[in-house]
Chains A and B, each alone.
Chain A
Amino acid sequence: MSGPNVLEVRGLSARIAGQQVVHDVSFEVPASGVTAVLGRNGVGKTSSLRAILGLIERSGEVLLDGVRVDAERTDRIVRRGVGYVPEDREVFAGLTVAENLRLAERGGSTAEHRELVDTLFPDLVRRAGQRAGTLSGGQQQMVSLARALLNENRILLVDEPTKGLAPRIVTEVAETLAAAARTVPVLLVEQNLQVVERLAERVVVIDAGRVVHTGPARALLDDPDLVQRLLGVSAGEHDPSGEEAATTAEAGR
């Protein structure tokens, strides 16, 4: 772990439509590398991310670079340097790719960031004038990632970026995240253990809205019994779409 924590979550609880979905969650995200949030479907991983950003009703403390931000509006928290890649991409379907990206540019967006995005996603340059709603799922994910990478961020919150994508695209997304993680810490919600294995140094496991395990990713993934108990799957069992990503990841090491 290098440097102080970029994000600290203390006693975070969240509610959706009056129902509590996150219970007293606490964890830290160091200032480098990837921290993965794991757990079965519907245990509160996405809600935790949304609660950190203030997108849903919440209580508890959220500290960004040691400063409490839980009383602030979502847009202000984001402008402090939080890049958000939501579950299901949430691109603006009626806007073109270029408009989606232009909208996401904050004050700190520079030519360097735009160049990085153009390099990482050459397909988006070619499709700049295309409506985002007509893109494939993988291309929409690229738009979603590009929106976050266009800015100077202190942290990226990335929610299930490989969900529903074809194996080849999963590999591309994993590679993009690996490249991003070299410059900015990432808090990654991910179901695909192969992707987690490739990217994450640390894991936070959530069950029924509560943190039930934190620690090095390797320690969890190397313990089949723990994986089975916490995630309900065996270590070798995973989203089939992750196979190619894993293979590539191994080859790349």
Chain B
Amino acid sequence: MSTLILLLATGLGLGGLYFLVASGLSLIYGLMGVLNFAHGSFLTLGAFVGLAAGNLVGAGTWGGLLLGLVVGALTGAAAATATELGLIRPLYDRHIEQVLVTVGLSLATVALFEGIWGPNPRNVTRTEWLASTTDVLGAHVPNTAFLNVLAAAAVLGGIVAFLRYTRYGLIIRAGVENRAMVTALGIDVRRAFTLVFAVGGAAAGLGGVLATQSLNYVSPHMGASLLIFAFIVTVIGGMGSLTGAAVASVVVAVLQQLANFYLNNTGDLIVVLLLALVLLVRPSGLMGRPA
């Protein structure tokens, strides 16, 4: 029983990380139709810069972590904004070129990060609480899982509130449905594009710093590894559906944990099979709009 609880709890924590990356991917695709393969770079950059900023206050302190999270989010947002303005905007409606550019950027940035911070993972210093576990019905649940879930819930709530109660949120929700019609109402939808990229980048940067706490290291390759599962989550949840991304994040991560433990480390395989199943049975994803 305690094992199951542990797997569910760590699955939820991992799902939180997936959601932080997938939320941006899903919003960006939903509004702009852009498959952003550079999204993992925002995560990695946010992680490195966020940790560096946190270390200035004190490695392994709550103040350092808090500053790291803020700086990581801001770094992700800045990188995403620059990418949108500099590389994506000139290629609106040229989807193949957009994919090529973002793939190229993801490869180039990994090389850049390796050049700056070295190719090998670096250990991070965590607060005492985050490095320990909490007993839940006999299961020793890593405290990072609670932090991840809390952060993901906060981001989900924040994005939902933004989408529901602000004019830009209204524009984005409408744009996900029918971008051309939003333009035909006299709205410069490009600003919404940039904003969505920035919000997605911020969530990814935040996720980057949180991932370092869960993994206990930071690496130039961490963004790419998480991006793969974030894409799977985005497709399973339904491209453009934030709620779908949230549900799929939990489903994928929990399934992955369970399969890794009970089915001889087949978590990744099971997730890919789930993806195939969803694509066959419901190509628009769990909560996506049918094409």
By size class, the interface of chain A is 20 to 34
Which residues of B sit under 8 angstroms from A120, Cβ to Cβ? Answer: none
Contact of A55 among B170, B184, B186 (CB under 8 A): B184
Q: How far is the CA of A28 from the CA of B171 in the complex (A)?
A: 33
Q: Judge whether A104 and B170 touch: CB under 8 Å.
A: no
Name the residue of chain B whose CB is nearest to the CB of A85: B184
Q: Judge whether A92 and B181 touch: CB under 8 Å.
A: yes
Which residues of B sit under 8 angstroms from A99, Cβ to Cβ? Answer: 170, 173-174
Q: Is residue A90 within 8 Å, beta carbon to beta carbon, of the partner chain? A: yes
Contact A93/B177 with A99-B170, A102-B170, A103-B171 known, Cβ cut-off 8 Å: yes
Taking the closest CB of chain B, its distance from the CB of A181, in whole angstroms, is 20
Q: Is residue A74 within 8 Å, beta carbon to beta carbon, of the partner chain? A: yes
Taking the closest CB of chain B, its distance from the CB of A53, in whole angstroms, is 6
Name the residue of chain A whose CB is nearest to the CB of B186: A78
Q: How far is the CA of A93 from the CA of B188 in the complex (A)?
A: 20
Q: Judge whether A55 and B174 touch: CB under 8 Å.
A: no
Q: Is residue A95 within 8 Å, beta carbon to beta carbon, of the partner chain? A: yes
Q: How far is the CA of A38 from the CA of B28 in the complex (A)?
A: 40
Q: Judge whether B177 and A92 touch: CB under 8 Å.
A: yes
Question: For chain A residues 68-86, which have a beta carbon within 8 Å of chain B?
Answer: 73-76, 78-79, 84, 86
Q: Is residue B178 within 8 Å, beta carbon to beta carbon, of the partner chain? A: yes
Which residues of B sit under 8 angstroms from A79, Cβ to Cβ? Answer: 186
Q: Judge whether A78 and B184 touch: CB under 8 Å.
A: yes
Q: Judge whether B177 and A94 touch: CB under 8 Å.
A: yes
Which residues of B sit under 8 angstroms from A90, Cβ to Cβ? Answer: 178, 181
Q: Which secondary structure dominates where chain B touches chain A? A: helix
Q: Is residue B180 within 8 Å, beta carbon to beta carbon, of the partner chain? A: yes
Q: Judge whether A94 and B173 touch: CB under 8 Å.
A: yes
**Residues of B in contact, count (CB < 8 Å):** 17
Name the residue of chain B whose CB is nearest to the CB of A93: B177
Name the residue of chain A whose CB is nearest to the CB of B182: A103
Q: How far is the CA of A235 from the CA of B10 in the complex (A)?
A: 73
Q: Is residue A45 within 8 Å, beta carbon to beta carbon, of the partner chain? A: no
Which residues of A sit under 8 angstroms from B178, Cβ to Cβ? Answer: 90, 92
Taking the closest CB of chain A, its distance from the CB of B240, in whole angstroms, is 11
Q: Is residue B189 within 8 Å, beta carbon to beta carbon, of the partner chain? A: yes
Contact A75/B186 with A55-B180, A86-B181, A90-B181 known, Cβ cut-off 8 Å: yes
Contact A53/B187 with A90-B178, A102-B170 known, Cβ cut-off 8 Å: no
Taking the closest CB of chain B, its distance from the CB of A140, in whole angstroms, is 13
Q: How far is the CA of A102 from the CA of B170 in the complex (A)?
A: 9
Q: Judge whether A73 and B170 touch: CB under 8 Å.
A: no
Q: Is residue B185 within 8 Å, beta carbon to beta carbon, of the partner chain? A: yes
Q: Judge whether A75 and B171 touch: CB under 8 Å.
A: no
Q: Is residue B183 within 8 Å, beta carbon to beta carbon, of the partner chain? A: yes
Which residues of B sit under 8 angstroms from A147, Cβ to Cβ? Answer: 185
Name the residue of chain B whose CB is nearest to the CB of A80: B186
Question: For chain A residues 139-154, which have a beta carbon within 8 Å of chain B?
Answer: 147, 151
Greatest chain B CB density within 10 A among A90, A92, A102 is at A92
Q: Judge whether A103 and B183 touch: CB under 8 Å.
A: no
Taking the closest CB of chain B, its distance from the CB of A32, in whole angstroms, is 23
Q: How far is the CA of A94 from the CA of B174 in the complex (A)?
A: 8
Question: For chain B residues 151-199, which have a beta carbon within 8 Å of chain A?
Answer: 167, 170-171, 173-174, 177-178, 180-189
21 residue pairs A–B, Cβ–Cβ below 8 Å: A53-B184, A55-B184, A75-B184, A75-B185, A75-B187, A78-B183, A78-B184, A78-B186, A79-B186, A84-B185, A86-B181, A86-B184, A92-B177, A93-B177, A95-B174, A99-B173, A99-B174, A103-B185, A103-B187, A104-B185, A147-B185
Q: Which residues of B contact A (CB under 8 A)?
A: 167, 170-171, 173-174, 177-178, 180-189
